[in-house]
Structure 1
């Protein structure tokens, strides 16, 4: 499945983000996030939110140590 991506779909995504997404395949996603049903922009938003969550948890853990 080839997805045509347009960098205008998301203002927060870098060129590297788009390059990584373009190289992804359906097998890269296990289905629990239903990536196959998401638009490319929705996939990037989900990935961004996941990365922000991880960063916020790491930051809070550093403050407690």
Structure 2
């Protein structure tokens, strides 16, 4: 399922620590709801060539 949504980086990323290389990411409730994601799901993140981020639910039942 592909759902394209645009958000400001300030709405998604907080507590950016460039020194440690860490950041907190908040996925909006509407996105979680549309994608069927819930607490405890394992998500995979891929940064695309254009700088956008592709997020998919990882299938823990598959061999990969």
Q: Which has the larger radius of gyration?
A: 1
Structure 2 length normalisation: TM-score? 0.26
- Greater strand percent: which structure? 2
Q: Greater RCO between the two (CA within 8 Å, min separation 6)?
A: 1
- Greater helix percent: which structure? 1
Structure 1 length normalisation: TM-score? 0.26
